[in-house]
Amino acid sequence: MTEYVVLIIGDAERWWTTMSFQERKDGYAEYERFGAELEKRGHKVTGGAELQGNATARSIPAGGGSVTDGPFTETAEQVGGFYQVETDDLDDLLDCCQIIAALGDGIEVRPVVVPEDRPRDDG
């Protein structure tokens, strides 16, 4: 099986600042449906979490330096959460991701680098 990270990219603050309680409740129900659909189709969720808002982020610039409050990049879109999923069927995983993409956030799916894929110094 290959392990993938499903990144949820969008304006996470929108959930708490512009959506009604019922809209948030309905949205979370879709995330529960996503998880159930993954399991039903034989994908294995091995980790993941919803992330707290951008205001809680701390950033260190590339190359090191001072720690600053908030996200390093000036953009409305940030990673709001992720799932770690093991599967042999990437196409079906992507099909399942349509469930949460329909809520309005972007989805990015990437394979995880496994130790045996890393370069080694055999000399």
The domains of the chain, with CATH numbers, are 2-115 (3.30.70.1060)
* pLDDT for res 83: 98
The Cα 11–Cα 54 span in angstroms is 9
Backbone angles phi, psi at 74, to 5 degrees: -95, 90
What are 63-106's pLDDT values in tens digits? 999 998 876 556 667 888 999 999 999 999 999 999 999 998 89
The DSSP letter of residue 51 is P
Least confident of 6-15, 27-36, 84-93: 6-15
The model carries a pTM of 0.84
> pLDDT band at residue 8, thresholds of 50, 70 and 90?
very high
Q: Around Cβ 57, how many Cβ atoms within 10 Å?
A: 15
* pLDDT for res 53: 79
- Quick check: helix, strand or coil at residue 7? strand
The Cα 65–Cα 92 span in angstroms is 42
* pLDDT for res 123: 58
Least confident of 3-12, 35-44, 58-67, 113-122: 113-122
Does the structure show a pLDDT above 80 at 4? yes
CB 24 within 8 A of CB 121: no
Which among 3-17, 83-97, 108-122 has the top mean pLDDT? 83-97
